[in-house]
A and B are shown apart, each in its own frame.
Chain A
Amino acid sequence: MDYQTTSAIIAFLSVGVILWLIRKDHLHPRKALWWIAVSIAIALLGLFPKTTDWVAGKLGVDYPPTILFVVAFLALLIKLLRLDIARTREQQTVLILSQRVSILEKRLEDIKNNKTP
């Protein structure tokens, strides 16, 4: 099996897994776009390995596969940072909602007991 076939199989499997996750409602389609893009990138770099050599040459990198690892690492780092930002925003929302729910429960209790704040 050659390099191109391996990359094509990895890309094909990735797309399959992502579509299955969307189908099972485990992944929001908007979030899936990133992973589809990653799969396409794997496929393209596998089918056209000279692209990596060309980019490495332009950037003055002696060993072309290094560029792949660096880009992949940076992409994952950005993705992780974005995940933490999104989690923070969600945490804010959950906390505010939880506070509001507790206040509403108190108001309901007051209404039941004919009490005004």
Chain B
Amino acid sequence: MSTSHTSNIGNSAQDRILVVIPAFNEAGSVGKVVRDVIRLTGHPVVVIDDKSIDNTADEARAAGADVIQLHIRHGAWGAVQTGMRYALQSGYDIVVTMDADEQHDPASISELLAPLQSGNADAAIGLYLERGSRLRIFAWGLLRQLSGLKIEDITSGFRAYKRPTLEILTSRAATLLTYQDIGVLILMKNAGQRIIEVNVPMYDRKSGISRIYYSWHAVLTYMSQTCLLCISKVSLSWPSRKKPVANGVE
């Protein structure tokens, strides 16, 4: 997939990289995540505090992150989008997004960055299929069928995006999305972005709860809303059904 949005420039060490961490009441874990990212990668970190009522912002600052505090609760995607907007304004070339609950391993950031820096992809998604219950895997399968997406891990928040992709994801059309999942992927796919999945390890979250799977009501709302999104946003030029390749270019 390649359009005018797609960038083939991959110039490794020159790239300015920003790690964006959305956080909502994650005071117990955000500090460690920030410290680990800085220690292991050296990349600057910005934590987007989604109107937490605990000390998330202070903990993140103390650990060495820049902090942007939202005044309205935007949800996970709105917080990530704020970080992307900030990165674009500040001249960063690549944004890595990861959770503040220690699910994602900062040591895997370099693996996410590799396909972007070599020019093989516009966005990379950290793939970890072992996580998730049977129900969750069934839901992912259903959403994949409805959307026509060939991405295995559609809800992974461990991702890397290049600048042209960031411009698409900070557009007005992307503002109403709730999660960094299928809506974001459909938007990228319809804009011809090359998305790649990279196998990474993931761990159980140390604090907080899933913003999607925390109650049956939330799951039903999420599923019906996302199914509707899949059906309404389907591209009219249907892509060829090619099997996705983990650690390979789609």
Contact among B72, B74, B78, B90 for A117, CB-based, below 8 A: B90
Contact among A95, A102, A103, A117 for B175, CB-based, below 8 A: A95
Could you say which residues of chain A place their CB within 8 Å of the CB of B71? 98, 101-102
CB atoms of B176 and A88 under 8 A apart: yes
A106 within 8 A of B: yes
| Chain A interface mostly | helix
Could you say which residues of chain B place their CB within 8 Å of the CB of A6? none
B68 within 8 A of A: yes
B69 within 8 A of A: yes
| Chain B interface mostly | mixed
CB atoms of A92 and B176 under 8 A apart: yes
CB distance from B83 to the nearest CB of A (A): 9
CB distance from B51 to the nearest CB of A (A): 10
CB atoms of B66 and A103 under 8 A apart: no
Could you say which residues of chain B place their CB within 8 Å of the CB of A110? 66
Could you say which residues of chain A place their CB within 8 Å of the CB of B69? 102, 105-106
Chain B interface residue count, Cβ-Cβ cutoff 8 angstroms: 19
Could you say which residues of chain B place their CB within 8 Å of the CB of A71? none
Could you say which residues of chain A place their CB within 8 Å of the CB of B82? 99, 102-103
CB distance from A110 to the nearest CB of B (A): 8
CB atoms of B72 and A95 under 8 A apart: yes
Known: A88-B176, A98-B70. Is A103-B86 also a contact (CB below 8 A)?
Answer: yes
Known: A91-B176, A96-B172, A96-B175. Is A103-B72 also a contact (CB below 8 A)?
Answer: no
Could you say which residues of chain A place their CB within 8 Å of the CB of B44? 117
Q: How long is the Cα–Cα vector from A87 to B66 in the complex, in angstroms?
A: 33
User: Using an 8 Å CB-CB cutoff, how does the interface string of B47-84 with A read, 1 for contact, 0 for none?
Assistant: 00000000000000000001111111010001001100
CB distance from B166 to the nearest CB of A (A): 13
From residue 76 to 117 of chain A, which have CB atoms closer than 8 A to chain B? Answer: 88, 91-92, 94-96, 98-103, 105-106, 110, 117
Size category of the A interface is 10 to 19
Could you say which residues of chain A place their CB within 8 Å of the CB of B85? 99-100, 103
CB atoms of A95 and B68 under 8 A apart: no
CB atoms of A92 and B172 under 8 A apart: yes
CB atoms of A106 and B72 under 8 A apart: no
Contact among A92, A98, A100, A105 for B72, CB-based, below 8 A: A98
B11 within 8 A of A: no
B89 within 8 A of A: yes
Nearest-neighbor residue (CB-CB) of B92 within chain A = A117
Could you say which residues of chain B place their CB within 8 Å of the CB of A103? 68, 82, 85-86, 89
CB distance from A87 to the nearest CB of B (A): 11
Q: How long is the Cα–Cα vector from A88 to B89 in the complex, in angstroms?
A: 26
CB atoms of B66 and A106 under 8 A apart: yes
Could you say which residues of chain B place their CB within 8 Å of the CB of A105? 68-69
CB distance from B180 to the nearest CB of A (A): 15
Using a CB–CB cutoff of 8 Å, the interface residues on chain A facing chain B are 88, 91-92, 94-96, 98-103, 105-106, 110, 117
Extra inter-chain contacts (10) besides given A99-B85, A103-B86, CB under 8 Å = A92-B176, A94-B72, A95-B72, A95-B78, A95-B175, A96-B172, A99-B78, A99-B82, A101-B71, A102-B68
Using a CB–CB cutoff of 8 Å, the interface residues on chain B facing chain A are 44, 66-72, 74, 78, 81-82, 85-86, 89-90, 172, 175-176
